[in-house]
């Protein structure tokens, strides 16, 4: 019987036949696809014909298709619906993939062909996109160590294999800590909690096979518990478990793993001739240098810390009025901030959530995409990897554009956070292919599922990434969609969040889940008026994480990551009642892989642009100005990585932005 992962998929839109794939299929399919990929690379390297763009660069671009197909399915289920077998396969596949990458970029005959095409580039009459693909391919070989020889080459291979193992271990340890802890609540412990939190806690208890409600370490459950529970002892217990993920001691402790990862990254950068891993990593980003990153972060840090310190005084006074002496602690901040928000903005999140059902917010995201870009979404009845998942066909003027999959609910088998991935990217060569895009979130399950305003922003954020994938219109898959500089990739996602703030969007879609009545105008005003509430806290916890990430990679690797983290936080004057958004032992952005290492700042770098970009809509004719929407698609969303990010942004906006719009948008401007 043919392995379903290796067969041609006779399914609607050639989607993965999830109902026919078993965990036992992955290893043999992986081995066979890896063998095929190696043969394809060998054929390019050993081609007796003189190297050309077509027989070297384009053929290399098209190689490994079977392997990509297998891995797209595997990594989708491993991240969103893990189990012991899939975790075992992750540990097995990671080093093998690292070894394959080392072989590919260490193939001297192949590199010689790439180098020959690169040297002849001025004579080849290439299109701008072909020139870009050639440059990126050549640069990738150079940055991977293709020019290394002897012991240095061997050491680089060993480093990459070990980093793959450590990144997988970091992720699995974190998942184990997150899924292994829960706090059982008695009836008395539910006092003061709004109905939506109680329902979510009961659903979490059912998911864990418990009789009663529980609090888990899912952000969508623990954050509202910290906001609303009057029980300071329970808030402290929950917060300490949440902040201790990856640092609970024993087999799942990530602190030593983080130290090993940083040491290996520093060694890798040194082998390639860079002063630090940050210098190596930022070379290809918009920021270019660690100094530019620090300048941006510190320009935002000063006003954010001042605001947070002023807020801390107010919250401490509220605590004193409630009869509690001592210091304001991290497990107190959200509780008293919520009380303050209710008092100052007459804002009660429990009153808002019935208007922000998951169904309504999906509809809002789709409606905005229709009004801006003409996209239409039709539900699909297809087999997916989990019963919670849903799929839609995306069309424009009757033409198929993409398949969009949404996986919205938290569960023990899913890693924390939210993300967007493409099971298949858009391309025109070697054959035309439309993208298959997945948004994964961790919302609390309910009947119906109700979102906080922050949850709704997350949904819009990830859908902004999905639009970047779906509207891509380039020739080569490696240049399509979100294959852009890390500090540019968050622009479309963060920009799309702004449409949730448009009064007419909430006015149209925020309807009471039971009555269907629109959100009352006075409540809508409160929601939008409170959008920047507690922004000092939010900015401080984020920027602190970004500065620690940069410090870890900017110089020599620290022997003690927790001591280095503490040193950085002392140096910037971290307010004592606020902690990093992602403490080192659970900083998966940075340690699960290279993705955001030295790059966690990129959300803020992109926010400088997204604030400026949305301002251009407002100035032009409003949030749905057709000319601005057309320019956004033409210059950014459709272009992928076919040009430098700054070039694309300047084509859209006419200039690069400053930090003023960001500070104004966050309510931090003087």
Q: Which residues are catalytic?
A: 462
Q: How far is it, in rounded angstroms, from Cα 468 to Cα 489?
A: 9
Q: Please, are residues 175 and 81 in contact by the beta-carbon 8 Å criterion?
A: no
Q: How far apart are CA 16 and CA 507, in angstroms?
A: 38
In 456-508, DSSP assigns E strands to: none
Closest CA to 261 of 37, 588, 499: 588
**Token couple for 525:** 């005003």
Are 568 and 305 a contacting pair, CB within 8 Å?
no
Q: 409: burial class by Cβ within 10 Å (0-12, 13-18, 19+)?
A: buried
Choose among 636, 304, 666, 348: nearest CA to 498. 666
The rounded distance, in Å, linking the Cα atoms of 238 and 234 is 6
Taking the C-alpha atoms of residue 97 and residue 91, their distance in angstroms, rounded to an integer, is 11
| Whole-Å CA distances, 411 to 247, 386, 408, 417, 444 | 22, 11, 10, 11, 9
| Phi–psi pair at 244, nearest 5 degrees | -90, 0
CA triple 568-570-574, angle to 5 deg: 100
- DSSP assignment of 195-239 equals HHHHHHHHHHHHHTT-SS-EE-S-HHHHHHHHHH---HHHHHHHH
- Residues 503 and 521 sit within 8 Å (Cβ to Cβ): no
Please tell me the distance from the alpha carbon of residue 634 to that of residue 471, in angstroms, as a whole number: 9
Separation of alpha carbons 531 and 537, rounded Å: 13
> Per the structure block, which two tokens stand in for 210?
């418990």
């Amino acid at each position: 019987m043919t392995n379903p992962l290796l067969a041609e998929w006779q399914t609607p839109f050639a989607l993965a036949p999830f109902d026919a794939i078993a965990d036992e299929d992955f290893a043999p399919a992986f081995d066979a696809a890896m063998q095929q990929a190696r043969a394809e690379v060998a054929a390019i390297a050993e081609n007796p014909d003189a190297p050309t763009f077509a027989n070297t660069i384009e053929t290399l671009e098209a190689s490994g298709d079977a392997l990509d197909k297998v891995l797209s399915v595997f990594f989708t289920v491993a991240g969103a619906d893990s189990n012991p077998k899939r975790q075992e396969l992750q540990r097995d596949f990671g080093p093998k993939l690292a070894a394959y990458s080392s072989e590919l970029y260490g193939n001297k005959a192949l590199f010689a062909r790439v180098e020959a095409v690169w040297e002849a580039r001025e004579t080849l009459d290439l299109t701008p996109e072909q020139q870009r693909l050639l440059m990126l391919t050549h640069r990738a070989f150079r940055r991977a160590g293709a020019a290394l020889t002897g012991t240095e080459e061997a050491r680089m291979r060993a480093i990459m294999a070990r980093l793959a193992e450590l990144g997988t271990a970091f992720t699995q340890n974190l998942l184990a800590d997150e899924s292994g802890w829960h706090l059982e609540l008695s009836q008395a412990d539910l006092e003061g909690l709004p109905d939506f939190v109680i329902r979510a806690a009961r659903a979490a208890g059912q998911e864990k096979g418990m009789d009663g409600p529980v609090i888990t370490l899912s952000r969508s459950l623990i954050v509202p518990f910290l906001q609303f529970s009057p029980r300071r002892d329970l808030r402290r217990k929950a917060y300490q478990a949440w902040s201790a993920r990856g640092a609970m001691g024993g087999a799942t402790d990530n602190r030593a793993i983080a130290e090993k990862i940083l040491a290996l990254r520093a060694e890798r950068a040194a082998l390639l001739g860079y002063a630090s891993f940050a210098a190596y990593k930022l070379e290809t980003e918009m920021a270019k240098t660690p100094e530019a990153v620090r300048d941006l972060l510190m320009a935002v840090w000063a006003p954010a810390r001042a605001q947070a310190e002023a807020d801390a005084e107010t919250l401490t006074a509220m605590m004193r009025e409630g009869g509690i002496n001592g210091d304001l602690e991290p497990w107190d901040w959200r509780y008293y901030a919520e009380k303050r928000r209710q008092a100052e903005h007459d804002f009660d999140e429990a009153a808002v959530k019935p208007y922000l059902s998951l169904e309504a917010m999906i509809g809002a995201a789709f409606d905005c995409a229709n009004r801006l870009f003409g996209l239409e979404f039709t539900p699909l009845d297809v087999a997916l990897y989990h019963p919670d998942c849903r799929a839609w066909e995306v069309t424009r003027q009757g033409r198929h554009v993409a398949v969009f999959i949404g996986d919205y609910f938290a569960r023990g088998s899913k890693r924390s956070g939210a993300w967007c991935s493409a099971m298949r990217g858009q391309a025109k060569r070697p054959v035309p292919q439309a993208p298959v895009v997945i948004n994964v979130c961790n919302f609390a399950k309910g009947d119906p599922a109700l979102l906080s305003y922050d949850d709704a922003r997350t949904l819009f954020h990830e859908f902004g990434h999905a639009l970047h994938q779906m509207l891509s219109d380039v020739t080569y898959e490696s240049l399509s969609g979100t294959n852009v500089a890390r500090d540019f990739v968050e622009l479309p996602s963060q920009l799309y969040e702004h449409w949730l703030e448009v009064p007419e969007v909430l006015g149209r879609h925020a309807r009471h889940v039971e009555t269907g009545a629109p959100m009352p105008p006075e409540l809508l005003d409160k929601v939008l008026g409170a959008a920047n509430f507690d922004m000092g806290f939010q900015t401080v916890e984020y920027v602190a994480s970004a500065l620690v990430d940069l410090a870890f990679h900017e110089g020599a690797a620290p022997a003690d990551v927790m001591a280095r983290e503490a040193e950085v936080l002392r140096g910037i004057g971290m307010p004592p009642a606020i902690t990093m958004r992602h403490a080192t032992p659970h900083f998966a952005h940075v340690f699960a892989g290279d993705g955001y290492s030295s790059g966690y700042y990129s959300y803020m770098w992109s926010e400088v642009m997204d604030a400026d970009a949305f301002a251009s809509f407002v100035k032009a004719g409003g949030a749905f100005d057709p000319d601005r929407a057309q320019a956004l698609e033409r210059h950014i969303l459709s272009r992928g990585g076919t040009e430098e990010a700054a070039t694309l942004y300047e084509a859209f906006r006419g200039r690069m932005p400053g930090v003023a719009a960001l500070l104004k948008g966050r309510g931090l401007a003087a």
